[in-house]
Amino acid sequence: MQRTLSIIKPDAVSRGLAGAVLAMIQDSGLTVVAMKMIHMSKAQAEGFYHVHKARPFFADLTAFMCSGPVVVSILEGDDAIARYRTLMGATNPANAEEGTIRKRYALDIEKNSVHGSDAPETAAFETAYFFSNLEIVG
């Protein structure tokens, strides 16, 4: 069993797509073991994306991520990290496969509707960034 952090980003939440994205997640067989809606501050978004601090898109990305509410959740399942990355699709929706969340809903390379952890170490950091053990079921 593995856990990964999912964020339904402001572009998707503001278009009323949180339920549709969660349905795709649950239809894929991943189990939601924690979930909440939050509206991040700029500092919280910067802390979450600290690995991207040197990237040219960091300022825009962190402004976007605190532009409205997001739905953060922890997903559990065998190989959950890779399975959720596959379900999300490529970072740039122009390159995303049919049937992926980003192909269906993403607006562009920045406003791409979902986040998913990319490795066990980042999943551990990211799940702990938003949730205490008391907020995780099972």
Residues that bind Mg ion (CB under 5 A): 118
Which partner from the list ligand ADP, Mg ion, none does 129 bind, CB cut-off 5 to 8 Å by kind? Answer: none
Nearest to 115 by CA among 43, 54, 51, 27: 51
Question: Is 52 one of the catalytic residues?
Answer: no
**Of 23 and 60, which has the nearer Cβ to Mg ion?**
60
Alpha helices in 49-112 (DSSP H): 58-65, 80-88, 101-105
Which partner from the list ligand ADP, Mg ion, none does 110 bind, CB cut-off 5 to 8 Å by kind? Answer: ligand ADP
Alpha helices in 5-88 (DSSP H): 10-14, 18-27, 42-48, 58-65, 80-88
Give the bridge partners for 32, in sequence order: 75
- How near is the Cβ of 109 to ligand ADP at its closest, in Å? 5
- How near is the Cβ of 29 to Mg ion at its closest, in Å? 22
**Of 122 and 137, which has the nearer Cβ to ligand ADP?**
122
Give contact residues for ligand ADP (rule: CB under 6 A).
Answer: 52, 57, 61, 91, 109-110, 112, 115, 118
**Of 97 and 137, which has the nearer Cβ to Mg ion?**
97
With 0-12 / 13-18 / 19 or more C-beta atoms within 10 angstroms meaning exposed / middle / buried, residue 44 is middle
Which of the residues are catalytic? 115
